[in-house]
Amino acid sequence: MAEKGQIYETRPLEFWAKAKELRAGWQQSIESTETVVGQGNILAIADWSRAFPAIGLVEDNPAGSMIASQSSPFARKCRLASEIRGWGREICGYQNTCWGSQFLGYQADGSPFPYRKFVVPIPCLCDQHNKRGQQVRDFEPVPQWMMDQCVYLGPRDAGREEAMIEHRAYSMLRQINDIERLFGQKFDDEKFQELLTAYSLVDLYSRDISTLMAQTKPTPLSIKDYYSVYTLGSLTKIDPQETVDFWKLVRDEVEWRAQNQIAAVGNERFRWIEAHPPSWHFLKYYRYMESYGAVCLGSQYAHRVTAGCLERRPDGSIDRREMLYYPKDTPLETREDGVRVCLTPDVRYPHHHKMDEYIRHNAIVEFADIFQADGALLAGWRCGVGCTLTRKEQAMRLRRAGYNVMFYEGSQPGDRTDLDEKRFLEQLDTWMETQGLEKQGD
Amino acid sequence: MTKEYWRWPGSAWASQDADWRRADRITAGVDVGTTSSQAVVLCDGEVYAYASIHTGADFRKAAGAVVEKAIDDTGMRMADIGAVAGTGWGSDHITFAGQILDEVLCHAKGARHIYGREVRTVVDLGGQTTKAILLYDWDRVRDFMMNDKCATGMGRNVEYLCGLLQVPIEEIGELSLSVSEDPEPVSTTCYAFADTETMGLFGRPEYRSDKMTDNEVYASHMFSIAWRVLGVIGRLQPPDVGDVKVCKELGFTGGLAKNPGVTKRIERELGVTALAGRYDPQLAGALGAALLI
Amino acid sequence: MITAGIDMGMEYVKAVLLRDGEAAGRGIGLSGGARRESAARAALEGALKEAGLSAGDIGKTVATGKGKFDLSFADKQVTEAVAAAKAAKRLCPAATCVMDAGCDETLVLTLDGGGKINEAVLNEKCAAGVGGFLQNMARRLELSLEEMSALPPVAAGGATVNDGCIVFAELDMLSLLNRNVPVREIAAALTDAAAVRVCTVLNDVTVPATDKVVLLGGLAKNKAFVRALEARSGISFVIPDHGEYGGALGAAQIALDT
Amino acid sequence: MNRFKQILDNHQEYAREWKKRVGGRILGYFDTYLPEELAYAAGMLPVRMMAEREPDMISAKWIYSSCYPVKSLTNQLLLGRYDYLDALVITEGCQWMYNAFEVAMNNKPDLLTHYLFFPDHTDAPTSKDLLVSELKVFRAKLEEWSGRAIADDALDNAIDVYNTNRRLLRKMYELRRMYRSVILGSEAMTVMLASQLMDKAEMNVWLEEYLRELEEREPYDDRIRLMLLGSETWSVDLEELVESLGANIVVDDLDNGASYCWNETVALKDKDMALALRYLGRPHSALKDNNWRRRPQRIFELAEDFAVDGALIAKQIYCHPHGLDNYAIWKLLRERGIPFHYFERDLTLPREETRLRLNSFFSMIRPGLTRLAGWHTPMTI
């Protein structure tokens, strides 16, 4: 696979086949089982839903962007459907497409919209989502449990945390109870604990992968490839043991590639980072940037932890950030233990836009430093509140630290509304050309 | 002198058959809009003369000029007109009007006269504002919706665009319809975004394969305008579940109603055929005002 | 060696010819969207005529501007930023910053001593179309651009229009017009709002420049606008002659250099 | 009335002057979920941050795609207009405001800042406990800032002053409820906004005088009675325009309008709990009305109670919670036959455009009452 301008050896990823197989298996399993599908946010409740035999959760973000990527005309129609019912035109693409389809009553292929059987609204992550879930009940009075998303700023405060965890634990335990009662399904406590253990293992493997991506030049894995397996085991539900095995497989391969200087992108000459999950059109622009020899290493979000999963220790070495993700001292014996373990990290390590002192001031610069980045591409997503919050400031901070930053206006999150693609690509040209980089392989 | 592609031709017409001197009652309606002004003169309730001009920088001047233009060559003078009603953005400046009426009412009345009594949905595509009006089947306005602030200025935008692209404004609609299949619209949010995006559509090597023809670019822009209008129309009667619903007895009024690139696309998306009218749809406001006296 | 630079702008196409690095001719024409290529040929024709040359004499042609890829006879395309930086360096070697304000886009570049671009900032989409907007408004107010350019600055406490969005500004303009505010005052308010909008781009770089800022692009010709911009930003701009040809000049220089 | 108007027109002047006069500290806050009583008891003057229309060249550097009021807040903070603030506090709520808060925090290192997590889930059995915990944290912060404990009687006094203020403001709403109102919507909103800028003790004195004045006043003519819904407001431009067209806004459901004063703090031994219950129990803003929908029903009840002819829904552009609430509110208003007109606004009110909308709307709902050049609009088309 020699390309023009190639500097390093590259070869296809081997875990690809396994990933496809797992994904296909998952697809089959959801088609063959009768699942009670509810609306919820994976961040807050995926953990418990999987301990029920047949409870499924759909989140409006992935659902919306999936619809939009299937068909732009249909996404537009969804947007119109919600607009005429009063939704502001600045409601983001995720919401508009997903709930627009509900308003229409059908999906892109003409099949009926899968109305949710229950709903768990999650406020706070983003104002766009603050009221999410109400749309479900506007249609049909299905059961609803709200789940608060508590965060705070400032120094660690055990008292504050405890009150937040109690508040959330109450909601979560009540949800589990009510679902058992209403849908006649038994919550499998053993499976719940098994899942939590599996997650913590996956977390360790994924941090290994991040370390390898950050510290190896050329990077053995680009974020473009990483994203294609990213959701395996979380959004894409597979057996806990299989999940762990798969992530080990990925880690091992990436490690091998790193040791043997196998590059993700053969002409790597510019390493850049992002500050958020990419928009739906990401594949296209990752590839476009690769034509300049510019490889994307992902964002703090992509590396699973708000602040980035690595940190520079006082002695200058780089290591995994000490995370309290699954506190070592917490027993994992009862359901309540499990619930608290689930909830603790969210409170202690708030979602990326409500950040503590450390994260706000330093994290993105430290992230760029650890990942040996040359620049950053930061997206302002029009109308995406949570997606865009503080982005301009981060750009400023990175620039002051000497990174070359491109701030661009993307689409609305979720669909292609407001995306001026040609303008965006020209901005990428500008970004590259002003640094003296030219397209390779023309 | 470079050609002003954006400038649409004004119009003036006076009946050759009727004689205003025999009329018992002469009334006039004047609509001074942000972009264009119209006057309609009625003799005993029948349209006798009308005119349409660019409003220009002086609303007061436009108000007088448009009436003068309508009655020019007929021998009629302002003083012969028994009563004048005014409407529109600049209605304060129609100093000779005996009464000022609101726009929705005038457009509804005018549309009933142009399209017949059966019209139930009136869509006014103006220079700045877009209004969708729903009528009862008796003589009352049931509801109306106006554009979001961000979706303002669609008629004016077509003027601006035609100047920039150097395409005659009377032709851009037809040209945009000559494509085999409509491309995706440019930004449906606002015309500022849409303009930038449209100008960027004229070619880029990475996308040679989907490089658009000129007419496709126009189509993309007209489609975005049509789409913004759909949002206003749909808000009149949103169904509990399903697509945009509209009373199919629909008539367009306003200057942009003369751009088939916009109206045909709205009709297509709504699955209706708009009613055919007796008069220039741009006259609706002034006509309605004259009739409401 | 004769080199040509062509700037395919949104409203105008500009062509510049360099004879051994010395400016030899300029040409300009309305670009008109789909007709850009023929407009570019015509502009180039004008430049050739001024220079007393023929098309065959041109050694190399570089295109820039929004429609740079529409030009079939260009040897190379460069982004507007690279061309503007080159032009600024040529016109004012000590430049620390260059601002290119045109019909559609406003671009601000900060330069290091060697003319390398430190930072390139483009306007937000909400701030697009400032130049075109002013022209459009002049037309609406029945003023020529020359008249608008010659207007005195807006008086403090006078009429204002929205400076956040050209769509809203037009609504405000029409409201002022309806309230019998004199046309000249409205035009001044519109010019000031445009200057404020352009200032947001100027402020968007990490450390906004204060000195040796070169102003290029069509808006540089609008005196009232420049005055408003200077008042709002506190910067005294370096305004070269023929600033609207900046992009084309930069492109021609790049054709010479590479 | 002029006194209130002056306060609102120079919205930063009062606090500046207060600081000079009293020598106390000023605490700026963003939205009306802040339990102001605590700050007041700690000797600080809580002042609401108000958006203002002025040329804005800076905020775009720090904040992207936000609503215009928040751009304005950012602009004012960065320009140093709020440099007299000693502390800046935000409660969990609007994220655009949060962004402005962050910008201030990073650019003004001397500013004392605090983030109070106000539960979004307001009606869980545990919500009050969490809020009490957050109030204790806030209280500790205030005590740290002032260097002394908040005395019980100071808090009692603060609660009493605030309750009095709410009671008086409610009384003003009662006067608006009368068939022929003695107070115009613009006047009421001016008072409402001024009360968010002033020392409540002083405000109460003014307000009492004002209410006595109102009781003497001759009622206005029969006007179209309207309800104002939608995003928060910072000026009374719209109200005044409505009045110039022969209508009057008699009630609102704005976060910084009626919702600000609707309920009082009920005395409890545990004062933090009393405050928590008051703020959790208030009529919620669109953002906090995110579990069971309560706003549509409340709006309907207000509409009935104040006998409105129709509703105006004015949403700030880029105000998402209100964008999402429209659906349920429109539906309910339509079902119950309450006419409404919806439009978007930002800090500039395009007078003519809005006038055209309103004229058409008024003549649709009560044709006989519209004032258009002295003529009555015909009833039929």
Closest alpha carbon to D235 in D11, D65, D84: D11
Domain ranges of chain A: 192-335+348-434
| Chain C residue numbers touching A403 (CB-CB < 8 A) | none
Whether A430 sits inside 8 A of C206 (CB atoms) is no
Whether A422 sits inside 8 A of B234 (CB atoms) is no
Whether D55 sits inside 8 A of C196 (CB atoms) is yes
The average pLDDT across C151-168 equals: 86
> Residue A135 in contact with residue A53, Cβ under 8 Å?
no
Exposure string of D293-332, with b = 16+ CB inside 10 Å and e = fewer, is bebbebbbebbeebebbbbbbbbbbbbbbbbbbbbbbbbb
Residue C66 to chain A, least CA–CA distance (Å) = 9
Dig out the tokens for B54 from the structure.
């660019």
Pairing label, strands A404-409, A318-320: unpaired
Chains B and C form CB pairs within 8 A to the count of 94
Main-chain dihedrals φ then ψ at residue A430, nearest 5 degrees:
-60, -45
Chains C and D form CB pairs within 8 A to the count of 51
> Residue B53 in contact with residue B37, Cβ under 8 Å?
yes
Closest alpha carbon to B188 in B178, B179, B198, B201: B198
| Chain C residue numbers touching B190 (CB-CB < 8 A) | 165, 167
Residue C38 to chain A, least CA–CA distance (Å) = 22
Dig out the tokens for A354 from the structure.
């409500």
Q: What is the percentage of chain B residues whose pLDDT exceeds 70?
A: 97
- Which of A234-238, A437-441, B29-33, D231-235 is predicted least confidently? A234-238
Q: Reply yes or no: is the peptide bond before residue D55 cis, omega within 30 of 0.
A: no
Query: Given B189, B242, B244, which is nearest A418 (Cβ)?
Result: B189
Per-residue pLDDT band for B43 (boundaries 50, 70, 90) equals very high
Locate the chain A residue with the closest alpha carbon to D96. Answer: A385
Whether D103 sits inside 8 A of A393 (CB atoms) is yes
Q: Which residue has the higher pLDDT, B189 or A347?
A: B189
Order the strands of the C97-101 sheet from edge to edge: C117-122, C106-111, C97-101, C213-216
Place of tokens 């403001």: D169
Whether A88 sits inside 8 A of D323 (CB atoms) is yes
Closest alpha carbon to A416 in A87, A95, A69, A63: A69
Dig out the tokens for A358 from the structure.
């450390």
Q: Which residue has the higher pLDDT, D372 or B134?
A: B134
d(CA C198, CA C190): 12
d(CA D145, CA D150): 11
d(CA C83, CA C251): 5
* pLDDT attached to residue A384: 84
Whether D95 sits inside 8 A of A126 (CB atoms) is yes
* pLDDT attached to residue C115: 80
Q: What is the percentage of chain A residues whose pLDDT exceeds 70?
A: 90
* pLDDT attached to residue A60: 85
* 3-state SS, residue D363: helix
Model confidence at A358: pLDDT above 60: no
> Residue B289 in contact with residue B96, Cβ under 8 Å?
no
A132, A134, A398: which to substitute to probe chain D, counting the most D Cβ within 10 Å?
A134
As a whole number of angstroms, the longest Cα–Cα distance in chain D is 71
Whether C81 sits inside 8 A of A430 (CB atoms) is yes
Query: Given A396, A430, A436, which is nearest C120 (Cβ)?
Result: A430
| Chain C residue numbers touching D352 (CB-CB < 8 A) | 171, 174-175, 178
Interface of B with C in 188-217 (CB under 8 A): 190-193, 195-196, 198-200, 202-205, 214, 217
Return the bridge partners of C216, or none: C100
Per-residue pLDDT band for B205 (boundaries 50, 70, 90) equals low
* pLDDT attached to residue A361: 60
* pLDDT attached to residue B211: 74
Model confidence at A327: pLDDT above 90: no
Query: Given A407, A427, A433, which is nearest C82 (Cβ)?
Result: A433
* pLDDT attached to residue C153: 77
Whether A89 sits inside 8 A of B150 (CB atoms) is yes
- Kindly state whether D307 is in contact with chain B, defined as any CB-CB distance less than 8 angstroms: no
Domains of chain B, with CATH numbers? 11-107+283-292 (3.30.420.40), 117-276 (3.30.420.40)
| Chain C residue numbers touching A426 (CB-CB < 8 A) | 79
* pLDDT attached to residue A352: 43
Dig out the tokens for A175 from the structure.
């949800």
Closest alpha carbon to B66 in B99, B93, B106: B93
* pLDDT attached to residue D374: 44
Residue A214 to chain B, least CA–CA distance (Å) = 31
B4, B179, B198, B202: which to substitute to probe chain C, counting the most C Cβ within 10 Å?
B202
- Kindly state whether B206 is in contact with chain A, defined as any CB-CB distance less than 8 angstroms: yes
Closest alpha carbon to D312 in D252, D379, D372: D252
Q: Which residue has the higher pLDDT, B99 or B283?
A: B283
- Which of B31-45, C66-80, D254-268 is predicted least confidently? C66-80
pLDDT tens per residue, range B154-177? 999 999 999 999 999 999 999 999
Average pLDDT, chain C: 93
Model confidence at C217: pLDDT above 80: yes
* pLDDT attached to residue A391: 86
pLDDT tens per residue, range D109-156? 899 999 999 999 999 999 999 999 999 999 999 999 999 999 999 999
Chain C contact partners (≥3 CB pairs within 8 A) = A, B, D
Distances (CA, A) of D339 to B135, D342, D369: 14, 10, 16
pLDDT tens per residue, range A28-45? 887 777 788 888 776 656
d(CA D235, CA D248): 16
Whether B192 sits inside 8 A of C132 (CB atoms) is no
A 10 A CB-CB count for D239 gives 24
Pairing label, strands B46-54, B11-14: antiparallel
Tell me the pTM: 0.94
- Kindly state whether A30 is in contact with chain C, defined as any CB-CB distance less than 8 angstroms: no
d(CA B211, CA B217): 10
- Kindly state whether B128 is in contact with chain C, defined as any CB-CB distance less than 8 angstroms: yes
With the CA atoms of A275, A277, A283 and A285 taken in that order, what torsion angle do they form, in degrees rounded to the nearest 10?
Answer: -30
Residue B163 to chain D, least CA–CA distance (Å) = 25
d(CA A179, CA D321): 29
What single letter denotes the amino acid at residue D148? R
B146, B156, B293: which to substitute to probe chain D, counting the most D Cβ within 10 Å?
B146
The average pLDDT across A338-357 equals: 65
> Residue A299 in contact with residue A277, Cβ under 8 Å?
yes
Pairing label, strands B250-253, B121-125: parallel
d(CA C224, CA C184): 11
Whether B98 sits inside 8 A of D375 (CB atoms) is yes
Model confidence at C255: pLDDT above 90: yes
Return the bridge partners of D225, or none: D248
- Which of A367-381, B194-208, B214-228, B243-257 is predicted least confidently? B194-208
Residue C178 to chain D, least CA–CA distance (Å) = 8
Closest alpha carbon to D209 in D171, D180, D173: D171
**Phi/psi zone of residue C115: left (φ > 0), alpha (ψ -120 to 50 degrees), beta?**
left
CA D314 to chain centroid, in Å, comes to 14
Distances (CA, A) of A60 to A43, A48, A57, A64: 12, 18, 10, 6
Exposed (0-12), middle (13-18) or buried (19+): which is C2, by Cβ within 10 Å?
A: buried
Locate the chain A residue with the closest alpha carbon to C119. Answer: A404
* 3-state SS, residue A60: helix
Domain ranges of chain C: 1-92+242-258, 93-239
Dig out the tokens for A291 from the structure.
């034509």
* pLDDT attached to residue D372: 47
d(CA A61, CA A417): 15
Main-chain dihedrals φ then ψ at residue C68, nearest 5 degrees:
-60, -25
Query: Given C175, C203, C204, which is nearest D351 (Cβ)?
Result: C175
Whether B201 sits inside 8 A of A422 (CB atoms) is yes
Distances (CA, A) of A211 to A207, A231, B35, D285: 6, 19, 62, 44
| Chain C residue numbers touching D55 (CB-CB < 8 A) | 160, 163, 192-193, 196, 232
Whether B204 sits inside 8 A of A422 (CB atoms) is yes
Q: What is the CATH number of domain C93-239?
A: 3.30.420.40
- Which of A87-101, A129-143, A364-378, C171-185 is predicted least confidently? A129-143
Model confidence at A410: pLDDT above 70: yes
Per-residue pLDDT band for A359 (boundaries 50, 70, 90) equals low
> Residue D117 in contact with residue D14, Cβ under 8 Å?
no
Query: Given D55, D56, D350, which is nearest C172 (Cβ)?
Result: D350
Per-residue pLDDT band for A46 (boundaries 50, 70, 90) equals low
Locate the chain B residue with the closest alpha carbon to A83. Answer: B231
d(CA D27, CA D158): 15
Closest alpha carbon to A268 in A325, A326, A344, A216: A216
Q: Give 10-residue mean pLDDT values along chain D (381 residues).
A: 92 95 95 96 96 92 92 95 96 90 89 94 94 97 95 96 97 91 95 96 97 92 92 94 93 95 95 97 93 94 96 94 94 96 92 92 75 49 58
d(CA A286, CA A228): 13
* pLDDT attached to residue B210: 62
Most confident of A421-425, C91-95, C157-161: C91-95
D62, D63, D65: which to substitute to probe chain A, counting the most A Cβ within 10 Å?
D65
Interface of A with D in 370-389 (CB under 8 A): 380-386, 388-389
What CATH architecture applies to the domain C1-92+242-258?
Answer: 2-Layer Sandwich (3.30)
Angle, CA of D339, A135 and D63, to the nearest 5°: 90
R_g over Cα of chain B: 20
Model confidence at A441: pLDDT above 70: no
Same fold, C1-92+242-258 and C93-239: yes
| Chain A residue numbers touching B150 (CB-CB < 8 A) | 89
- Give residues with Cβ within 8 angstroms of D88, minimum separation 6: D27, D28, D29, D82, D101, D104, D105, D108, D111, D112, D113, D114
